[in-house]
Amino acid sequence: MSTNYWIGDSIGRVLGPLTLQSLRELIGSGRLKAVTRASRDGSSWEPIEQFNEVKDLLGTLKANPAAEAQQAARLRQQLSQMQGLPAHQLFGVKADAPVEELRGAFFRLAKRYSPEHQGQDTHPELRKVHAEVFELLSRRMREAEAQQAPARAPNAARGPQQQGGPVYTYSAEEFVGMQTRNDRLQVSVKVSTRNAGIFTDHRIINLQSGGLFLPTDKPIKLGTRVELVLDFEQQQKQIKLRSSVIWEYTLDDGKQPRGYGLGLADLRAEERSFIDEFLRGHRTGVPTTGR
Amino acid sequence: MSTPTLLLVDDDRFVRNLLRDAIQESGLEVRLLEASDGQEGLEVAARERPAVMLLDLFMPRRSGLEVLAAMKDSSPDTRVLIISSMDAEPVVEQAMSAGAVGFVGKPFHPLEIALAVRQALAH
């Protein structure tokens, strides 16, 4: 019978019982990072240093390159079959399924292949084929949405939101710079009270969900790697992060500005605390705590 | 038929707000309750007998997996839907084997939540 573990973090959260295999998957995929204590019964806790097997996982877990290369080859084969499928077959829904149902299926699949869901040491070929699957899913979803979206006036989404929900107070002009260098995009944001909503206003991509929303009309490919600089000028603090484009919203539907979601998986705890504090100071009443 | 009760169990207030928004905007007619950790979730469930519990896994006092196991005995009629970023395959399998009716990974889209709750209510 496999040993069970409970693990805990510095803010009192606990997770368990888990097998070592489950822990390996969670840590290896980057889902579990800030573990500080562990237990074998869920009640007697010890610092993580006392659990060599868990500590080793956290400190030295490496991907298995051979297995990942095989996985990449298998997935590439599946991808060639997926290419020819219409959206409903690709997403596993009925041919007459409404776009909402397609979106639900899309989100489930897209999360599995999102660049954010891979460990630091993922084999480059596996990372590449995941990105290709992610792009195919996104393309099929865009096509399905375009077929069902009502016609709208051009530029309808570029102003503040008109009906309900938060009014977006930030715009592309808030951004100091965005330029492509090799395969990376360099984005600098001067963060101020006016554009603090990039962390909070978007319902899907926000600080709580581990991202920020970059409003722009410039086309950017999903999965593009981004070197992000957040410049809190007033506080004289700069946060530099490696990020990637994990979400896009390019519909002119009048509901929200067009733009892209950037993942903030590399945000360190103290940087996260700094942004939380900044948001508390500048946008009273906006809850920001969480993962 | 009476309005079904949904219990949102997550230590993150912002997530609870997002869940609340997603459910309210979906048009589902439900009564919504909240709990901010696993222990409180069990207590509210025992008292209110919700039709569906939306349960986080990584929480203070009692983990979601412990709550899930305890719900089997204390509130067997409540359908438990896991909402968690800990969506590695063995964890999803463990939760589903322990009786969860669904698993939505974080970050989630409001539509995913609405669909999953509809399915859980119809389960």
* Nearest beta carbon to residue B13 from set A14, A101, A287: A287
Residues in chain B: 123
DSSP string, A251-273: ---SSS--EEEEE-TT--HHHHH
Q: How many CB pairs under 8 A join A and B?
A: 101
- Residue ranges of alpha helices (H) inside A38-123 are 52-60, 65-83, 87-91, 99-113
Binned at pLDDT 50, 70 and 90, residue A271 comes out as very high
- Using beta carbons and an 8 Å cutoff, which residues of A are at the interface with B? 6, 9, 11-19, 21-22, 25-26, 29, 31-32, 42, 100-101, 103-104, 107-108, 111, 203-205, 208-211, 287-291
Predicted confidence (pLDDT) per residue in A128-182, tens digit: 888 788 888 878 887 887 777 654 433 333 333 333 333 444 443 344 456 666 6
Question: Highest-confidence range of A72-81, A90-99, A222-231, B104-113, by mean pLDDT?
Answer: A72-81
For residue B2, the distance in angstroms to the closest alpha carbon of chain A comes to: 27
The answer to whether the Cβ–Cβ distance between B115 and A209 falls below 8 Å is no
Q: Is B12 on the interface with A (CB under 8 A)?
A: yes
Is B43 touching A (CB cutoff 8 A)?
A: no
Query: Which residues have C-beta within 8 Å of that of residue B65, sequence separation ≥ 6?
Result: A15, A16, A17, A18, B57, B94, B95, B98
Closest-CA residue of A relative to B103 is A108
Highest mean pLDDT among A89-93, A207-211, A248-252: A89-93
Strands (E), chain A: 4-9, 13-19, 35-39, 45-47, 175-181, 184-190, 211-215, 225-232, 237-249, 259-263
B contacts of A100 (beta carbons < 8 Å): 111, 115
Selection from A246, A10, A3 nearest residue A130 by Cα: A246
**Do B106 and B58 touch, CB atoms closer than 8 A?**
no
CA separation for the pair A79, A94 (Å, rounded):
21
**When comparing pLDDT for A93 and B30, which is higher?**
B30
Nearest residue to A133 (alpha-carbon basis) of A111, A100, A102 = A111
Once rounded to an integer, what is the mean pLDDT over residues A207-216? 82
Is 0.80 surpassed by the pTM of this model?
A: no
Cα-to-chain-centroid distance, residue A253:
23
Q: What percent of chain A clears pLDDT 90, i.e. is strictly above it? A: 13
Residues of chain A contacting B88 with CB distance shorter than 8 Å: 22, 25-26, 29, 31
Min Cα separation A4/chain B (Å): 12
Q: Which residues of B touch A289 (CB under 8 A)?
A: 12-14
CB burial of residue A142 (10 Å; 0-12, 13-18, 19+): middle
- For all residues of chain A together, what is the average pLDDT? 76
Chain B residues with CB-CB distance to A290 below 8 A: 12-15
Residues in chain B with pLDDT values less than 50: none
Provide the ipTM.
Answer: 0.93
Residues A211, B107: C-beta atoms closer than 8 Å: yes
Q: Do A208 and B21 touch (CB under 8 A)?
A: no
Using CB atoms, which residue from A16, A209, A287 is nearest to B106?
A: A209
Contact call for A14 and B107, based on CB within 8 A: no
Q: State whether residue B72 sits within 8 Å of chain A by CB.
A: no
- Residues listed for chain A: 291
Assigned token pair, A204:
């899907």
Does residue A279 carry a pLDDT above 60?
A: yes
- Write the burial class of residue A98 (CB in 10 Å: 0-12 exposed, 13-18 middle, 19+ buried): exposed
A20 vs A118: which has the higher pLDDT: A20
The confidence score (pLDDT) of residue B100 equals: 96
Contact A211, A226 (CB under 8 A): no
B12 closest CB neighbour out of A42, A205, A289: A289
Token couple for B60: 């203070």
Q: Does the distance separating the beta carbons of B91 and A26 come in below 8 Å?
A: yes
Asked whether the beta carbons of residue B61 and residue A11 sit closer than 8 angstroms, the reply is no
pLDDT for A36-82, tens place per residue? Answer: 999 999 999 999 888 888 888 877 555 577 878 888 999 999 999 99
